[in-house]
């Protein structure tokens, strides 16, 4: 592992702004006691918590970035209920998740919308986490490599290479998200290799994360043997202790392999 690891906590639609600030502060305290030396850390709270979490991160100098879980690709206008990248930027947000499988499956975000959103994010100077991954039937049919290749190509083809440094990939098999079923080390290793082979040379510094029921127990092997550059974590990011244990596993692995 030569690229520094990245761990992102996706809080999904959990925690009101009081609870979110509390979790941010708990993460800050744990990091003060045991700082992460190598691993970059990001949390993705719900929209309504972003300002409060960004403020506490700033005022208490907590070494974490703040991400939004989604954004509308338009700059402004008649898009009731939506939020633009420039609005996020003004809040102190520096990252955006793009095309999470829950957005794709429950909110009709198709490949074209993912590609548009990715462009809006990076053009505004925000960092993007492009989420890809197959459903169980696709995995069972053996079509997962082709599925992921198509998702990656559809989002990245034609993207100005100047923006490559702003793009992180998260491979998240849908059958492993929130199910307690983790892809095994061999499956993760194979997909990390496949994703890197699909990316053009401009993306050679891009991190390729794994997501899907990552926890304190499986994180070390997924990063050491699975060769993930870090994780997108859902459930286990809602408790400071389990989130920090995952970060520590990445940190230890990076320190050993350097
Ligand atoms: C996710 O929401 O991206 C995710 C990976 O969730 P979980 O860790 O709970 O499977």
As a whole number of angstroms, the distance between CA 42 and CA 27 comes to 11
pLDDT tens-digit map of 178-209: 998 889 999 999 999 999 999 999 999 999 99
* 258 confidence band (pLDDT: 50, 70, 90): low
Residues with C-beta less than 6 Å from any ligand 1 atom: 10, 12, 172, 177-178, 211-214, 232-236
- pLDDT band for position 257 (50/70/90)? confident
Of 251, 217, 219, 248, whose CA–CA distance to 232 is shortest? 219
CATH architecture for segment(s) 6-255: Alpha-Beta Barrel (3.20)
Torsion of CA 176, 11, 231, 239, to 10 degrees: -100
Q: What is the pLDDT of residues 45-99, one digit of tens each?
A: 999 999 999 999 999 999 999 999 999 999 999 999 999 999 999 999 999 999 9
Q: How far apart are CA 98 and CA 115, in angstroms?
A: 9
Q: What residue spans define the domains of the chain?
A: 6-255
Q: Is the pLDDT of residue 1 over 60?
A: no
pLDDT digit string (tens) for 109-144? 999 999 999 999 999 999 999 999 999 999 999 999
Average pLDDT score over the chain: 96
Test site for ligand 1: of 175, 176, 235, 247, most ligand atoms within 8 A of the Cβ:
235
Reduced to 3 states (helix: H, G, I; strand: E, B; else coil), residue 203 is: helix
Q: Please give the structure tokens belonging to residue 217.
A: 């127990």
């Amino acid at each position: 592992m030569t690229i520094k690891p990245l761990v992102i906590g996706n809080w999904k639609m959990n925690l009101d702004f009081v609870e979110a600030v509390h979790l941010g502060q708990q993460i800050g305290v744990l990091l003060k006691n045991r700082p992460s030396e190598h691993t970059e850390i990001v949390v993705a709270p719900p929209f309504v918590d972003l300002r409060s979490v960004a403020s506490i991160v700033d005022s208490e100098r907590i070494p974490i970035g703040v991400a939004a879980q989604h954004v509308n690709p338009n700059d402004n206008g008649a898009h009731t209920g939506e939020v633009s990248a420039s609005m996020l930027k003004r809040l102190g947000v520096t990252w955006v998740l793009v095309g999470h499988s829950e957005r794709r499956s429950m909110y009709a975000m198709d490949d074209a919308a993912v590609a548009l959103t990715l462009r809006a994010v990076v053009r505004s100077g925000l960092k993007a986490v492009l989420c890809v991954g197959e459903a169980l039937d696709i995995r069972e049919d053996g079509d997962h490599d082709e599925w992921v290749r198509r998702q990656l190509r559809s989002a990245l083809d034609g993207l100005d290479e100047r923006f490559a440094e702003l793009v992180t990939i998260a491979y998240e098999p849908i059958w492993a998200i929130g199910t307690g079923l983790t892809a095994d080390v061999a499956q993760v290793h194979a997909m990390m290799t496949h994703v890197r082979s699909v990316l053009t040379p401009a993306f050679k510094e891009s991190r390729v994360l794994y997501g899907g029921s990552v926890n304190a127990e499986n994180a070390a092997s997924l990063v050491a043997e699975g060769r993930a550059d870090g994780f997108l974590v859902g459930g286990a990011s809602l408790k400071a202790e389990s989130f920090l244990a995952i970060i520590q596993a990445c940190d230890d692995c990076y320190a050993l392999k350097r």
